[in-house]
Homo-oligomer: A and B are copies of this chain.
């Protein structure tokens, strides 16, 4: 039988590949050359988890000590390069990778915060950092205003999903199914938001172009 650690490891690896593909596609949109695409893919894939591990001083940065993550991030980027002509037509399908990565990484981040006995709000923020910071670094590196700050609904889903997961974890039950539930909540919320084009009410009346 699969134990929780094994499940979380598999989930983390799938998340790395998903985010690497998403980062590599962004870099190819900007016409970066092949190594640039791999670097942006790698950075998008490991950036959030790296910042999380840097913030918690007891933790080694995950990909430095477990090279499997580095290989998977490179693999995801290379796959995106090889199949980029076919992938271009699959954009909608591919934003799914981003959504899956968001769900996976958020829950892993909250989970690690819990492991280190951090306060609840810190766990939830660590989850959001793990889930969204790779994308922030990606946007800084390609010199754009990070997408999450323009469509913050993305990061708010991570915060909301992470909070729900944290509450279930403490007040209800532990175990793999709670992780799966948390990840599912985030993925479903994200799909609903995309489907119905939900966004925050603006603070600035009659001022928008």
Interchain CB contact under 8 A, B149 and A118? no
Residue of B60, B118, B119 touching A57 (CB-CB under 8 A): B60
CA distance A121 to B37 in the complex (A): 18
Residue numbers in B under 8 Å from A45 (CB-CB): none
Q: Which secondary structure dominates chain A's binding surface?
A: helix
Quick check: is A143 within 8 A (CB to CB) of the other chain?
yes
Find the residue from A37, A60, A136, A207 having the highest chain B CB count within 10 A.
Answer: A60
Number of copies: 3
Residue numbers in B under 8 Å from A67 (CB-CB): 119-122
Interchain CB contact under 8 A, B39 and A149? yes
Interchain CB contact under 8 A, A149 and B36? yes
Residue numbers in B under 8 Å from A40 (CB-CB): 149
CB closest residue in chain B, given A144: B143
Residue numbers in B under 8 Å from A152 (CB-CB): 32-36, 39
Interchain CB contact under 8 A, B84 and A35? no
Interchain CB contact under 8 A, A140 and B140? yes
Find the residue from A35, A145, A202, A207 having the highest chain B CB count within 10 A.
Answer: A35
Quick check: is A125 within 8 A (CB to CB) of the other chain?
yes
Quick check: is A200 within 8 A (CB to CB) of the other chain?
yes
CB closest residue in chain B, given A140: B140
CB closest residue in chain B, given A126: B64
> Which candidate, A9-17, A48-56, A165-173, is the interface stretch facing chain B?
A48-56
Interchain CB contact under 8 A, A58 and B55? no
CA distance A97 to B35 in the complex (A): 24
CB closest residue in chain B, given A38: B152
Residue numbers in B under 8 Å from A71 (CB-CB): 121
Min Cβ gap A14→B in Å is 20
